[in-house]
Amino acid sequence: RVFEAEMKEWFRHDELLLTGAVGPAPRIDSYQVKLNRGGMVTGFFTMFNHAHVPAAAIPFGLHSNGMPLSVQIVGPPQADVDVLRISAAIEAARPWAHRWPALAEDLSLAAG
């Protein structure tokens, strides 16, 4: 509830928040699979869900190592349409559906 109140206060002065969608990926040898709650959280989605504010993640390109990157647009409460509108503008400016990481192409996972 504290974070939710802080987000509502923050949005009194700012219209949207642009952030990365996820943090650094854990090393594969340090990742522990958890079947129940309590697993490692690497994305920033959960906090905004708990704050009850709209958010959307949009593919944004590829890192120099070939891994996909994304950004997240977060808006104030009730601004779902604004978040989707900005998301669509980013996607139109940086089309991504035709771009696949080399690994996907190597495994024949890319859409033809």
**49-59 per-position pLDDT tens digit:** 888 899 999 98
The model scores a pTM over 0.75: no
The DSSP call for residue 22 is B
pLDDT reported for residue 23: 67
The residue ranking higher by pLDDT, 59 or 100, is: 59
Q: Say whether pLDDT at 19 is over 90.
A: no
Q: What number is the average pLDDT over the span 10-20?
A: 88
CA distance 73 to 64: 23
Q: Say whether pLDDT at 79 is over 90.
A: yes
User: Phi and psi for 18 in degrees, rounded to 5?
Assistant: -110, 125
CA distance 52 to 58: 19
**% of the chain beyond a pLDDT of 70:** 70
Contact of 68 with 21, CB cutoff 8 Å: no
Q: Say whether pLDDT at 95 is over 80.
A: yes
Q: Say whether pLDDT at 38 is over 70.
A: no
Q: How many C-beta neighbours within 10 Å does residue 111 have?
A: 7
Q: How many C-beta neighbours within 10 Å does residue 59 have?
A: 17
The residue ranking higher by pLDDT, 47 or 40, is: 47
